Structure formats: structure tokens, C-alpha cells
Structure 1
């Protein structure tokens, strides 16, 4: 009788241990899962992988009362290649404030031109935007006293991504605003008060769905930053194996 009770106790302990292990695995799996839902005014739908708001997301953003953000900057849109950031025109905004827009998975696109103020040296390199045009278009006169010291910067020729060091080394103190040249249907338009960040999934090798194309993201001609996945024609989804992958479209 004593042997039976001991066996019963041992069985009960084993069940308890297995239950604890199962619960721990379930908890860890939940932590590692990427959650992309944020009920805000600018994003009502779930973000596509690899974007999200939990620790399991390769590109983790913030879900706040003001919307989806990177630091204090509001995210307006996420495309297959870019994160679109709102950058309202503002006098006396420190250049250092945009350092948060340079992360392990994203950086400023060279398609974005920064309008800088209070520069201690002339900026070299081409820039398509005239500062007085931008200031006039935004109908802001509060910075007029420094308008003669406003300079435009969009990086070195041949670079598709910028680094914060490049911007910081301009020796300009303030960032007034920005504009981005966007190509659409063989035409180019300018979007004011917008910053475009090129994004990538970190990794030397692509981990895309079998029905997706993989694109390496480069800085210049030699530095591989990571990759992006996009579903082939006739398929829809985020294209990543860890995400939703690719599924046949409704019309197929």
C-alpha cells in the first residue's frame, strides 16, 4: 500500500513538471511571436512582418496615443521598400534629434533632401531642392531671419542610404524640414515634410517564402545591410517564411 502511494505521488510530480515545462514553452513562444496590431488613428490594420510592436518583431516600432512612431516621429506609411515618416517644418530642431531614424534595420534614403540651418561651412554635393522654395511652399516665416543660412543636403552621389555621421558632419545645427522625390508612372513628385527610410531584414542569407523574390539591400556598391522579401505576381502576403509568407491571390 505504501509502494502504491509513492508511485502515485511520483506520477503526480511528473505531471506537474511536464505542465510547468509546457507552460514555460508556451510563454516563451508568445514572447518570441511578432505582434503587429496597434489601434491608432493612422494604422488600423496589423503591420506586415517583419514590423510590429513586440520583442519578437525584427523591426520593432512604438504604438502610442499619437500613432505608430519611431522615437517621437510619427510613421505615416510602410511600403515594400520604405518607412514614411512625418517631419513637420520646425525652427530650432536639433540635427541630433533624427539620430533615432538610423537603426539596425532602417536608415534615411538618399531620395530625401534635408533642409538644414545654421551651418558653419558650405555643404558640398548636389541637391535638387532650393531652400527658399521649400520655406515659401510651407508658408513659414518664423525662420526668415536665418533663411540666408539654409542649406540642402541629400548625401553623396551613388549612395542610396545615408548614415547619421554624414549628416552630423555637415556641422549644421538645426534641421528645418525635409522633402522626398517620389517616382510614379515615369513622373517625379515632391512630398514636403516627409522623410523616407529604406528598411531591411538583417541577415546575410535570404529567408523568403518559395513564392517570393528576395532583394538584397545595399549601402553603396559593397556593403550588404540585409534583405527584403516580396511575393511574386499572383501571390500576396509579406513574403517572409517567419511571417505570413505568400498565398495565391483571390483572382488566381
Structure 2
């Protein structure tokens, strides 16, 4: 895991020039913490569009108001935050679910939540991949808890879909043990101990004129929102308030992708095609 420990310092080294060039709408947003600097729209203060937490001593970025939940950000991509969920039966379920859903991010329907001590509910099932494959009951504070999975609905392939917060809470579980995320990048794979949070920026599209804008229509629980992405051949984050899109070094435009592949290599386990 030494390579994983080096990931965030590498991320900071790549992002420092881009963050300095960004400026714009979140001028008072604090994007640096210790040796870590985050790209727009992320930051560590209340003025940031998407606020995350920072533990300087541990050198980690986390989701939620407290580090104790163990919702550690392992990776950033143009579409998602990749969290590392170290298996832990003592991770409080309700507090964790509250931290995973916000006005700017939510668990994608590509995830299954590994949970413990739940009431019977329609979306609760036995995990298709045995938790024992990555769950050490000694180090994870698990004893004789019943380990199950909250799986996404079968109709979650239409449009932009996320796990439903109300349905997840209705399962009335005690612990959020871990998660399993499905990825088809580079071939089908299961990311064990990982959870993908799709993120967005609230409001109508505010993308660079040359960027592609993906819109998320407003729902009962989420306002209108959007994502920006520069087309191939241009670098930047695509946001008017970020670095926009411009011609430049190809490497800079691909930092998300490279770091994503590095991070995925830690967790990926190829699954057989159905």
C-alpha cells in the first residue's frame, strides 16, 4: 500500500499550477491543507462549492464532518470521488449515509453498500461477492454481525441514477461496513472496499464555451446541476470558475485519468463477463 500513501502528495504536485491559475468565483475558497491542494470545485472551507475535510496529520481528505467515519477520498475524477472504505463494522450507518449524500454529490447506482445488522427490506440481499474475500473480522471490529448488501434497483440503468437515500435509510442497518463499486473502464471489474460518489455543481451550466456540459435536471431532493469536461485535445477542468479549456500539454489534461488508473489498480479485481 506504499504507492497508495504517495497518491495524495503526487496529486498535490500536479494540481498546484492548475489551482493557482483557476481564480474566479470561489476566490475565498481554501483549497490547500498541509501539502494537499484540490482543484475546483473542491476545497476545505465553507466558501468552496464542494467542501471536503482534511486531516493534516494523516495526510488524507475525507467526506463528512468527521474523520472518524473513515470516508476517505482516495481519488478524484472529472465525474466522481472515489472513496476508500476500510471494512469496519463499527462505522455508524445513519451518520455515514448522511455524509454520503449532499447537494453536490451522492453514491452512484454502480455501488453496492456492504452493511451489518439490518432490518429486512426489499433492497437488502446476500452479497454476490462474499464479504469474507476482503473482510478481516478482527481488524474490522466485526464479530458475529450478519453482513448483507444494499444493491441498486434493477432499473437504475436509465438516465442519471443514484442510490436513493430514503430507501437506503429504510433498511435500518446498524453499520456501514464497506462498499463494492462496479467499473467497466478497461474491462469489467469490481472495486472492493471502494465507493463512487458522483459529483456535480449546483445551478445552470457555467462551462467554458469549448467544454461539454452534462446537465442534471432538478429533482425533489436535488436542485438543477451540471458537470463540465473539456473535449479531447484541450486541457483544463472545463468550468468558467475553474481553469476552463485551453490548448496545452496533453499530460495536464489527463491527470484525472492517470491518477484514476493508479488508484483503481489498488482495488480492482477482474470479474468474469456475464
TM-score of the superposed pair, with normalisation by structure 1: 0.74
Give the CA deviation at 1:137: 2.9
Post-superposition offset of 1:69: 1.5
Q: Which runs of 5+ in 1 are unaligned?
A: 1-28
Q: Which has the larger radius of gyration?
A: 1
State how far apart, in whole Å, the 2-side matches of 1:39 and 1:234 are. Answer: 33
| Cα drift, residue 155 of structure 1 | 2.8
Question: What is the 5 A alignment of 1:22-171?
Answer: 32-40=27-35, 44=36, 46-65=37-56, 66=58, 67-71=60-64, 72=67, 73-98=71-96, 99-121=98-120, 123-125=121-123, 129-130=127-128, 133-140=130-137, 143=142, 145-146=144-145, 149-159=146-156, 160-171=161-172
**Cα pair 2:84 2:194 within 8 Å, conserved:** yes
Distance in 2 between the 1:230 and 1:101 partners? 23
Equivalents in 2 of 1:126, 1:117: separation in Å?
10
CA deviation after TM superposition for structure 1 residue 231, in Å: 0.6
Offset from partner CA, 1:91-149 (integer Å, 9 cap, x none): 2322112111111100111111111121221x424879436x12233343663523xx3
Change (3 A) 1:130 1:236: same
Select the structure that is richer in strand.
1
- 2:174 partner SS: strand
- After superposition, the Cα gap between the structure-2 partners of 1:30 and 1:172, relative to the gap in structure 1 and judged at 3 Å, is closer
Q: Is the 8 A contact 1:34 1:49 kept in 2?
A: no
- Give the C-alpha shift of residue 183 in structure 1: 1.3
User: Which ranges of structure 2 fall in alignment gaps of 5 or more residues?
Assistant: 1-23, 251-274
1:179 offset after TM fit, Å? 1.0
After TM superposition, where is structure 1 displaced by more than 4 Å over at least 4 residues in a row? 29-32, 125-128
> Deviation at 1:248?
0.4
From the superposition, tell whether residues 155 and 58 of structure 1 become closer, same or farther in structure 2 (CA, over 3 Å): same
> Structure 2 matches for 1:154-193, cutoff 5 A?
154-159=151-156, 160-185=161-186, 187-193=187-193
- The aligned runs of 1:209-224 (5 Å cut-off) are 209-217=208-216
Write the deviation string for residues 174-197 of structure 1: whole angstroms up to 9, x where unpaired.
222111111112x11111111110
Secondary structure of 1:33's counterpart equals coil
Higher relative CO (Cα under 8 Å, sequence separation at least 6) belongs to 2
Alpha carbons of structure 1 residues 216 and 129: separation in structure 2 relative to 1, 3 Å: farther
For residues 223 and 154 of structure 2, what CA distance do their matches in structure 1 show? 18
8 Å contact from structure 1 (residues 237, 246) kept in 2: yes
